[in-house]
Amino acid sequence: MKKIVFLALLMIGLSGVVCAQQPNRVPARPGIIDRVQPSGDTLHVYLRGDERAHYTMTTDGWQIKEDKNGYLCYAIQKKDGSIVASKKVAHDADKRSKCENKWLRRKGLKKN
């Protein structure tokens, strides 16, 4: 009888340890992903991070975020440290205007 009780308690204890373990983090999908903007333009992006902490960036390293309308916009950092979508819609490097490049150098978030 003591053996049965001991084995039952051992099994309950081991099942608690197995259930408490966190699964390994899964890295973001590697390679370039084509995202279509609501306007119909295509933007080539990378995903970085894992399921807990992640971000999206252009192929030349500018961080981007999706706005409330579904557009991928360049990310900016607010004074409180949070990262939000700006009002500047993101474009591939070869489709950016001089004005857009100047804005990025001043306000954009560059990721390596």
Condensed to tens digits (0 to 9), the pLDDT of residues 57-105 reads 999 999 999 999 999 999 999 999 999 999 999 999 999 999 999 999 9
Residue 60, domain extent = 33-107
pTM, two decimal places? 0.73
11 occurs within a structural domain: no
41 occurs within a structural domain: yes
25 occurs within a structural domain: no
88 occurs within a structural domain: yes
**How much is the average pLDDT of 4-8?**
66
Give the dihedral sign, CA 54/56/59/60.
Answer: negative
28 occurs within a structural domain: no
How many domains does the chain fold into?
1
Q: What is the mean pLDDT of the chain?
A: 85
Q: How high is the pLDDT of residue 93?
A: 95
19 occurs within a structural domain: no
9 occurs within a structural domain: no
37 occurs within a structural domain: yes
Q: How high is the pLDDT of residue 17?
A: 52
The token duo for 31 is 């390679």
Residue type, 9: L
Q: What confidence tier does 21 reach under pLDDT thresholds 50, 70, 90?
A: low
Q: Which residues lie closer than 8 Å to 60 by C-beta, 6 or more apart? A: 93
